A and B are shown apart, each in its own frame.
Chain A
Amino acid sequence: MAGRPFKVRDEPDERLLIEAAKVDPRRFGELYEHNFDRLYAYVSTRVRDRSEVQDIVSEVFHHALENLARFEWRGVPFIGWLYRIASNAIVDHAKRAAREQCGDPPEMSVEPDTREIEQRAEVFQLVKDLPVEQSKVIVLRFVEEKSIRDVAKEIGRSEGAVKQLQFRALQNLRNLLGEEHA
């Protein structure tokens, strides 16, 4: 379903969330939960290294929390503001890395692929909907980057069973993604 907008689940009234967090920053937790996957997806499509992605996501949320009072609702979603902060942070990181390596900063793509980001964010959410064993294999294999043998040992299954769980998990995610966009 190329080009279809990302279907947001249980969209709360973001404007109310922002106003509430401005008055009481403790409400920022709701904004964090609501935007984490999309921000993480955005950063991870542009930065490969996991620890660098984490650093940038952390920086963006810190900046957003500290500067929330300055955010004015003008019809642009909050995530757009986070993307802008993230974009600047990514450029800063790249420049810093280039300086440390005495090279030129890499060319950054200014316009991210929105469809890819939103699809990725949705995959992040859908992993939670997988059967427990499948989501466990996904985490061990992709987040912790363990070999099939190590995963098999950890969950007490055969290597063949783990490969099958990996296959089923990705198949399910593809199907769920298709359903979301159907």
Chain B
Amino acid sequence: MPESDLIQQLDQAVDAMLRGETAPRMGPEVTALVQIAGHVRALPDGDFRASLKALFMDKAVKLSKALKEKDQMTTATATVNWIPKGFHTLTPYLHAPAEAKIMDFLRDAFGAVEKFRVPTKIGTIMHAQAQIGDSIVEVSEIPDDYVAPRATSLRTYVQSVDETYRRALAAGATSLYEPVDQSYGDREAGIKDPAGNVWFIARPVRGDNYKHPGLQDVAPYFFPHGAAAFIEFLQKAFGAETIGRHESPEGLLYHASLKIGDSIIGMGEAREQWPTMPGGIHYYIPNVDEVYERALAAGAKSLQAPVDQPYGDRYAGVIDSQGNYWYLATHIKDVEF
């Protein structure tokens, strides 16, 4: 068949197809082309293809942005620092009777600034934070029947021992000893606050710095019975590192300095003048579960197994052989109060 006839037949078949009619019977060559024409008839419109893609890309950009924001939020949550801003590794936690008005004393004696307070229904302090220099002291006013350590012992470094000593007495403290230059190089005074806590107020006699390098302004000071065993516990449970030690010729520990995280604590063997005064210590670590287990393995008693708290910390508690309450915590999320 001449090609011109094939061309004509094909066009008739295409016409019929486009009208939705059945194509007339054709020879094999035209039939094969009509089959291709059947596919071509469904050819997507180029404009449709392009505009649909544009629509998707617009939607994809929005989805991408949303995913990125979600990702950033997840990252922010995942990278929350395990220790809240402003805290050292160790923070003294005072349990005081409400009538001692300990927050007022901290303000008047040491210039403490109240950072935070959660009152109870009856208006006493469930929990408060007082900023003293570079340190935080936490306070809870507790009823008599509440089981917790009471008066404890602390050391604070100040610009002027004499001035602070006077202010403390004016604020209701009693004097344990007046400011004196000690043989170990500190000017130091001792007072007992209205809640019974013992404070060693100090600064180096020489030099411009009001405290020795590495010390925080307020830190616990311990008087353990059996200091050697207590140091061993701190080493095993908390990885404490002994950085200074002074003993009598008979081996009595006068003073030791131990580093736990970024905090340096002091201690001396308990004796008649300085009996054991267990206290509360808020201790931030990166992994509370691990430290809790280590503390128990080192001989501490459990106060509370690790649990996530609504205020954003994972918390556990242990009691050591001296009766100190260690409040172990890992900050897991920032919570607005």
Q: Is B52 a contact of A127 with CB atoms below 8 Å?
A: no
Q: Is A58 a contact of B33 with CB atoms below 8 Å?
A: no
Cβ-Cβ contact count across A and B, 8 Å cutoff: 107
**Cβ contacts under 8 Å, A177 to chain B:** 36
Query: Closest CB-CB distance, A69 to chain B, in whole Å?
Result: 9
- Interface members, chain B 40-65 (any A CB < 8 Å): 40-46, 48-49, 52-53, 55-57, 59-61, 63-64
Q: Is B40 a contact of A123 with CB atoms below 8 Å?
A: yes
**Cβ contacts under 8 Å, B46 to chain A:** 139
Contact of B8 among A32, A53, A139, A163 (CB under 8 A): A163
Contact of B41 among A25, A58, A142 (CB under 8 A): A142
Chain A minimum-CB-distance residue to B37: A170
Give the distance in Å from the alpha carbon of A53 to the alpha carbon of B40 in the complex.
14
Q: Is A120 a contact of B60 with CB atoms below 8 Å?
A: no
Q: Is B37 a contact of A28 with CB atoms below 8 Å?
A: no
Q: Is A28 a contact of B56 with CB atoms below 8 Å?
A: yes
**Cβ contacts under 8 Å, B256 to chain A:** none
Chain A minimum-CB-distance residue to B42: A44
Q: Is B36 a contact of A174 with CB atoms below 8 Å?
A: yes
**Cβ contacts under 8 Å, B14 to chain A:** 141, 166
- Residue-wise, chain B 9-30 has the 8 Å CB interface mask toward A (1 for contact) of 0110010001000000000000
Query: Closest CB-CB distance, B44 to chain A, in whole Å?
Result: 5
Contact of B48 among A23, A54, A123 (CB under 8 A): A54
Q: Is A143 a contact of B33 with CB atoms below 8 Å?
A: no
Number of contacting residues on A, CB 8 A? 45
Q: Is A167 a contact of B6 with CB atoms below 8 Å?
A: yes
Chain A minimum-CB-distance residue to B8: A163
- Interface members, chain A 121-180 (any B CB < 8 Å): 123-124, 127, 138-139, 141-143, 145, 148, 163-164, 166-167, 170-171, 173-174, 177
Other contacts beyond A23-B67, A163-B11, A166-B10: 14, CB < 8 A: A25-B64, A29-B53, A29-B57, A40-B42, A54-B45, A58-B52, A123-B36, A123-B43, A141-B18, A145-B18, A148-B11, A163-B7, A163-B10, A166-B14
| Interface residue ranges, A against B (CB under 8 Å) | 23-29, 32-33, 36-37, 40-41, 44-45, 50, 53-54, 57-58, 61-62, 65-66, 119-120, 123-124, 127, 138-139, 141-143, 145, 148, 163-164, 166-167, 170-171, 173-174, 177
| Top 9 closest pairs, chain A to chain B, by CB | A44-B42, A25-B63, A25-B60, A123-B39, A120-B39, A170-B33, A167-B7, A25-B64, A40-B44
| Interface residue ranges, B against A (CB under 8 Å) | 3, 6-8, 10-11, 14, 18, 32-33, 36-37, 39-46, 48-49, 52-53, 55-57, 59-61, 63-64, 67
A-B contact pairs, 19 of them (CB 8 A): A23-B67, A24-B64, A25-B60, A25-B61, A26-B57, A26-B64, A28-B56, A28-B60, A41-B42, A44-B42, A53-B42, A123-B43, A141-B18, A142-B40, A142-B43, A143-B43, A145-B18, A166-B11, A171-B33
